[in-house]
Amino acid sequence: MELAYYSDYAVRLVNSEEPLRGKDTLTSVEAVRDLFGVNRSAARRATDADVTRFRSVRARLRSVFEAADGGDETLAVDLLNSLLLEFPVSPQISGHDFRDDDGRPLWHMHLADHPSNATAGYAAIAAMGLAFHLTEYGVDRLGLCEAAPCRNAYLDTSTNRSRRYCSDRCATRANVAAYRARKRLEADRSQNTGRAAENAQRATANGER
C-alpha cells in the first residue's frame, strides 16, 4: 500500500466536522471506528475515550490545512511536524494481497498498527500520510473548500493545481451562486443606467422650459 493512500485518513478525520455549519459526526465510538475504513482490526481497538482524543487530533490536523490554505507554509510544516513527533509511525515492508505474474509478492511500504491505542495509531497514519503528500506535491496542494460555508479539507491532485472545492457538488453550488451574483449585478447596472438616463432626460426637459 503506497504511503499516499494514508493522506486520506487526515482528510476523513478533518471532514467529520463542519464548524461553520455546526455539524459534527464524531460523536460516538462507532463514528470513530468508521473512520478507519477497511482497517477493521485497528478500528476494534477504539473505545469511548477515543472520541475526545480523536477530536483533539482533528483540530490539530485542521490547523495544518488552514495554515496551508492561508499560504503560511512554515506554520503548516511546523504543525505537522509536532504531530509526527507526538505520534511516530512504525513502517514495515509488506507484500500481502499484491502479487506479480509469477506469484511473487509486490513489496511496498506499510504503516503498522500502533500498539498503544486507536487514536495514536490513527494520528500516526494520518500525519505520516499528510506529510508524504506535502513533501511530494507541495503545501499548496492542501486546501479548504471555497464554497462557503463548507470549508471541508481536500488534497489537490489536479495536474495544474487548480482545485478549489472539496467535491463536484460544492463546485456546482459555487458556480451557480457566482452566476446568480453576476446576473444580479448586471440587472442592477442596467436599472441604474436606466434611472440615470431618465434623470438626464428630466434635467434636459426642465432646462428647456
**Residue 182 has which C-alpha cell?**
453576476
Cis peptide leading into 149, omega within 30 of 0? yes
- The secondary structure of residue 20, as a DSSP letter, is G
Res 4: pLDDT: 66
* 59-79: average pLDDT: 97
User: Taking residues 185-195, what's their average pLDDT?
Assistant: 67
Instruction: Give the pLDDT band (50/70/90) at residue 1.
Output: very low
Q: 183 is written with which cell numbers? A: 446576473
The alpha helices in the chain, defined as continuous H runs, are 7-14, 29-35, 40-43, 49-69, 73-86, 118-137, 168-208
Quote the cell numbers at residue 195. 434611472
pLDDT tens for each residue of 87-113: 998 888 877 666 777 778 878 777 776
Please measure the distance between the N-terminal and C-terminal CA atoms of the chain and give it in whole angstroms.
Answer: 87
Residue 183 has pLDDT above 90, yes or no: no
Give the alpha-carbon dihedral of 30, 31, 35, 38, to 10 degrees. Answer: 30
Q: Using the predicted structure, report yes or no on whether residue 58 has a pLDDT greater than 70.
A: yes
| pLDDT reading at 70 higher than 90 | yes
Residue 203 confidence class, pLDDT cut points 50, 70, 90 = low
User: pTM to 2 decimals?
Assistant: 0.79
Per the rule left: phi > 0, alpha: psi between -120 and 50, beta: everything else, 161 is left
